[in-house]
Each structure stands twice: as C-alpha cells, then as structure tokens.
Amino acid sequence: MQRNPGESDFHQAVKEVVETLGPVLHKHPEYAEHKIIERICEPERQIIFRVPWQDDNGEVHINRGFRVGFNSALGPYKGGLRFHPSVYLGTIKFLGFEQVFKNAITGMPLGGAKGGADFDPKGRSDSEVMRFCQSFMTELYRHLGEYTDVPAGDIGVGGREIGYLFGQYKRITNRYESGVITGKNPHWSGSLVRREATGYGCAFFVDEMLKVRHDTIEGKICIVSGSGNVAIYAMEKLLALGAKVVACSDSDGVIHHPKGIHLDTVKRLKEIERHRICDYASEHKDAQYIAGGNIWDIPCQIAMPCATQNELDERSARQLIANGCIAVGEGANMPTTPGGVKAFHEAKIAYGPGKAANAGGVATSALEMQQNASRDAWSFEFTEKRLQEIMRNIHHECYETAAEYGDSSNYVIGSNISGFHRVAEAMLAFGVI
C-alpha cells in the first residue's frame, strides 16, 4: 500500500489473495524464503501512454492507455483490454493481478496481464471508435506478440473494437499474426464460443457447485446483474439448463420481469441497437423498470454479478441470503466486497469467486490461440464441450485444494491457493528474475 498509494482496487485484490496463503506458506517455506509473494505482487512491467484522437467534429481528445504485464511465469501475458472512463492504473493492476491466478487455475500455459484506457465508447460513432482504437494500437503494438502478450476484450471492448485493434496491428506489422489478440470474429480467425464463453462458463461453474451439494440449476429463479456480453450469455446458458431468469440491469437501472426475461429483446437492445435496458419495459408491459434500483433486493435462488467490481456489498449480500439465495457465481471480476464475501461464507451458501467462476473466457481465448497456431477452426459443439470440461476441472481443482486446506466449500481458498501454487513453482524453477 505504501508503494502503490491511491490504488484501492489493487490493494483489495492483493489482500483478498494474500490473507488466504498462510497455510500454503507453512507447508512450503521455500516460497517465503524466495520472496515469492513480494515478487508476485510487483508487476513485471507497467506501460502507460498517451492516446490522441479526433472526433467527428475535428476536436482533438487525449486519453491515457495502459498495459500491465503482471506475471509471465506460466506463459505469455494474457488478459483483456477495458475501455471505460473509470479506468486508472489501480483498476488495471487489480485486474492483472486477478488474471494471474485465474489463468493459472485453467491449467493453460498463460501468464496474467490487463490493459485499457479511460476512453468511453458509449455514444461514440463507429468512426470515432475506429480512430481511437487505431491510435491506441499504434503505441501498444510494439509490446505485443503471440509469444509475448496477447490481449482480448473486456468492458467497452467487444467485437467491433477487437476488429479495429487487430486491423491496425496487421497494418503496422505487415503480419497476419492471428494469435496476437483473441475475441476475434469467427469469420476472420476467431473462435466459436469465445463470445459466449465467460457467461457460459460461469453457469457451468455454478452447476458444478450445486452438484456437489446434490442440487441442480434446473427450476431455480435467477438474477443476473449487467446486460453486456457476460450477463447475456450467462442468462442464455442458465435458461438452457432449465433456470428462470427474472432480472438484469445496466448502469442506469434494473429490469424485473417475474414471468422471465425475454433474452432476444435484451440481445437486440444491447448488441445491435446499443440502447439502454430501460427500453425493455416499453416492449414488455408486464416488466418493471427500476431507475437506479438495486438488483440484489429482488428475491432469487441463484445470483450472478456480471457487471463490474464491488457492485455487491455486505448489505446486498445479506439481503440475498434473507431472500433465500443458495448460490452466487461471479461473472465479473471482484464484484463482491470483502464484507459481502464474508456474509456468503458465514451463511454457507455456494459462492464461486470470479477468478474461478469467470475463467471460461480466458480458457476459450487459449482455445482460440490453439486454433490460430494450428490454422484450424473447431465447431461450436466441440469448443463448448472443451469449455465445459475446463470449467469442470477448475471446479474440481478448487474444491479439492480447499478440502486439502480444511474447507471444501470455500472456493476462495481453493482458487487462490491452487493458482498461487502453480505460479510459485514456475517462479522457483526460473530463479530470481
């Protein structure tokens, strides 16, 4: 905290991991001897750069771009790019730190990184977004490579942005290096299921948590915060598994539709028309729009926070528990505050932390990299089956590791220790670098 003042999100992420590592340091004193924690908490590289661009009226704007390569012990840096006005160095460092452990528990050979800019694509024309992405990549390209650093999308960076970013990389480098960025359109070297992967994977993880409790998703009432990529496809898979989704949201408010959310409407409003979620209520008169509402006040059995960090606080967690919630799966990164996490553990509900529950996105990015490397293209069904297997393995790894350290129901301990152990062993093998 002294070395990184003002970076509260980063402080929170580090504390959440480090405070669970006492038992593993006792079992492996060599980790402390070689200062693994001190080294793993310091990024290997931090890049900050200026991003100048012109809007459609000819006005010049200046944004700030970031790329933080946190740890490459297990493979090339891998992690998304976030375009949002709230982005600052602390945001990127928290996300990159989380990514290290998330990538590790997938079992894939991936390091952890994150990047982005304080640019808001909301309300900007396609031409403005293109010019921003081209300016951003003009600086970032020199730090990327399929064996060095492979970015992907995150909040504010979808298929449109990935296309502009990759196009500029291709233009500058004179190389069609497909594996340098993931989340690409399947028509030009992308992977089927990549768009759906984070949301699908989160639903698969919740299903696995319920299975060990001799329960199932089928028939459960669910709420999903957000209405972006992760939320939409979490809802899609929940519906496919027999659940009923009754609420979703965006930054302006909440839609509550007791008869069940019409996912086709949400997809059209958000993915095609780029409208706000309030427009849903004008098309479905039996749905209620709650401006500025708290989605966690709506009764449910399964809650999936899929919007942004620290969206679910202790009060909301206790409200969910009081309303009969039995499982929480984090589709977003660190969406639950420490107080909320503590409440879930005290209530003994099934709680899947983001670094495990939303790892399906980066896992499928790794599958996209495999297809790019082999000049191959897999079917949707084959890729989804691989994703489901990976999520099942992640759950098993977290569950067994947590049991080894005294509490099989604590997936926070399981994911943190499992990911840390894999990274630490690689760092020991490489020496002091």
Q: Are residues 102 and 248 in the same domain?
A: no
HSE of 55, CA atoms in CB hemisphere, 13 A:
12
- Please answer whether residues 302 and 206 qualify as being in contact, where contact means their C-beta atoms are separated by less than 8 angstroms: yes
* Residue 37, in any domain of the structure: no
**Cβ-based burial of 398 (10 A; exposed 0-12, middle 13-18, buried ≥19):** buried
Indicate the SS3 state at residue 241. Answer: coil
Report the alpha-carbon distance of residue 423 to residue 48 in Å, rounded.
Answer: 26
* Residue 127, in any domain of the structure: yes
Over residues 227-238, mean pLDDT: 96
* Residue 246, in any domain of the structure: yes
* Residue 17, in any domain of the structure: no
Over residues 156-184, mean pLDDT: 97
Residue 140 to residues 51, 66, 188, 200: CA-CA distances in angstroms?
A: 10, 9, 21, 30
Whose tokens are 């999308």? That residue is 153
Report the alpha-carbon distance of residue 192 to residue 239 in Å, rounded.
Answer: 20
* Residue 13, in any domain of the structure: no
Over residues 224-233, mean pLDDT: 96
Q: Are residues 177 and 224 in the same domain?
A: no
Q: In which band, very low, low, confident or very high, does the pLDDT at 162 lie, cut at 50, 70 and 90? A: very high
Q: Are residues 333 and 409 in the same domain?
A: yes
- Please answer whether residues 276 and 254 qualify as being in contact, where contact means their C-beta atoms are separated by less than 8 angstroms: no
Indicate the SS3 state at residue 75. Answer: coil
Question: DSSP labels for 114-153?
Answer: EEEES---TT--HHHHHHHHHHHHHHHGGG-BTTTEEEE-
427, two tokens: 């760092």
Report the alpha-carbon distance of residue 419 to residue 164 in Å, rounded.
Answer: 33
Q: Are residues 197 and 183 in the same domain?
A: no
Q: Which of 188, 207, 226 is a domain's end point?
A: 188
pLDDT in tens, 289-300: 999 999 999 999
- Please answer whether residues 119 and 154 qualify as being in contact, where contact means their C-beta atoms are separated by less than 8 angstroms: no
Instruction: Kindly tell me the number of DSSP H helices and DSSP E strands found in the chain.
Output: 17, 12
Could you tell me what percent of the chain has a pLDDT over 70? 100
Q: Are residues 184 and 201 in the same domain?
A: no
Q: Are residues 277 and 410 in the same domain?
A: yes
**Strand (E) or helix (H) holding 428:** helix 411-430
- The one-letter amino acid code at 80 reads G
DSSP letter at 214 equals T
DSSP letter at 178 equals G
Q: Are residues 109 and 230 in the same domain?
A: no
The number of domains in the chain is 2
**Strand (E) or helix (H) holding 364:** helix 360-374
Q: Are residues 358 and 245 in the same domain?
A: yes
Average pLDDT value over all residues in the chain: 97
- Please answer whether residues 46 and 22 qualify as being in contact, where contact means their C-beta atoms are separated by less than 8 angstroms: no
**pLDDT at position 59, please?**
98
What radius of gyration do the chain's Cα atoms show? 21
User: Which residues are documented as binding site for NAD(+)?
Assistant: 198, 229
**pLDDT at position 277, please?**
96
Residue 238 to residues 199, 206, 286, 307: CA-CA distances in angstroms?
A: 9, 10, 22, 17
Residue 87 to residues 42, 116, 247, 373: CA-CA distances in angstroms?
A: 19, 7, 27, 32
Q: In which band, very low, low, confident or very high, does the pLDDT at 6 lie, cut at 50, 70 and 90? A: very high
Q: Are residues 225 and 149 in the same domain?
A: no
Over residues 206-214, mean pLDDT: 97
Strand order in the sheet with 350-352: 288-291, 253-256, 244-250, 221-225, 302-305, 327-329, 350-352
Could you tell me what percent of the chain has a pLDDT over 90? 99
User: Which residues are documented as binding site for substrate?
Assistant: 78, 99, 102, 153, 365
Domain range holding 78?
Answer: 43-188
User: Which residues are documented as binding site?
Assistant: 78, 99, 102, 153, 198, 229, 365
Over residues 20-32, mean pLDDT: 95
Taking CA 411 as the corner, what is the angle to CA 405 and CA 414, rounded to the nearest 5 degrees?
40
Q: Which of 156, 188, 220 is a domain's end point?
A: 188
Please indicate whether residue 267 is annotated as part of the active site.
no
Q: Which of 153, 188, 223 is a domain's end point?
A: 188
Q: Please pick, among 93, 114, 220, 244, the residue that the annotation labels catalytic.
A: 114
Q: Are residues 210 and 135 in the same domain?
A: no
pLDDT in tens, 389-415: 999 999 999 999 999 998 989 999 999
